[in-house]
Amino acid sequence: MSKIMVTIQDLHKRFGENEILKGIDLSISQGEKVAIIGPSGSGKSTFLRCINYLEQPTSGTVMIEDKKFAEPNQKANEKHVASLRQEVGMVFQSFNLYPHKTALENVMAALITIRKIPKGQAIKIAETFLQKVGLANRKDHYPSQLSGGQQQRVAIARALAMEPKVMLFDEATSALDPQLVGEVLQVIRELANEGMTMVLVTHEMKFAREVADRIIFMDGGVIVEEGEPDTFFTNPKHPRTKEFLQQVGN
């Protein structure tokens, strides 16, 4: 049996009076690709953001390998959280590249500031990862000089350069023009083939089915149904899953 990379136990998240996540348990093995789907407002992003503690859970535990972000019901220690976050890469819907830095500088900033890698070496690493996403020739461009698809690929390179053990994608292609979606999906697909452990929140059902080992359907802050992609899409069990898949035209 392969190693467990992410363990989530009885995760709850509340914003004021609203309980958004109502008890989620999930284990993700090394190399596994998990796709999370579900209606808007069901808590997918919130869940993903709890996995790297960008959102501090109200209760429950999140572990990366054998390291907890915080003991249950205790306040997280910021330094510890920050250091554990280095093992979890995240790609946002809105790219969030640093607009004042070139592609290369975007990728190398954390290597220098956080990893304390000497500049010369950081440049080499950054170039390698830009190469990997097919943007070696764009390294001196600013985000404003890149297409959305290129920006998202730089953002992926930036996350990968920290050599995370897990990658989180929150609708990485939703902000892109349709003709730019393919190039980003291709990068994610290659990453999947290399054995990266990933959690993807996505609206691209076809892609989820192709890349994921497991599909998770969330609704109302809980996991309603999960399963292996082919079975999940051809033979959903839960009525809410069926309804959702019908609505998205699957």
Angstrom distance (rounded) from CA 205 to CA 67:
32
Angstrom distance (rounded) from CA 28 to CA 199:
9
Instruction: State the Cα torsion 78-28-185-110 to the nearest 10°.
Output: 20
* % helix, strand, coil for the chain, step of 5: 40, 25, 35
Angstrom distance (rounded) from CA 193 to CA 199:
14
Question: Should residue 164 be labelled a site residue for ligand ATP when binding is judged by CB under 6 A?
Answer: no
Query: Helix and strand tally (H, E) in the chain?
Result: 9, 10
Binding mask 147-186 for another protein (x = CB under 8 A): --------x--xx--x------------------------
Work out which of 13, 24, 43, 45 binds Mg ion, going by CB under 5 A. 45
Work out which of 27, 73, 83, 231 binds another protein, going by CB under 8 A. 83
Choose the binding region for Mg ion from 45-53, 67-75, 135-143, 214-222 (rule: CB under 5 A): 45-53
Of ligand ATP, Mg ion, another protein, none, which one sits near residue 113, judging by CB under 5 to 8 A according to partner kind? another protein
Question: Should residue 43 be labelled a site residue for ligand ATP when binding is judged by CB under 6 A?
Answer: yes
Interacting residue ranges for ligand ATP, rule: CB under 6 A? 15, 20, 38, 40-46
Applying CB under 5 A, the residues found at the interface with Mg ion are: 45
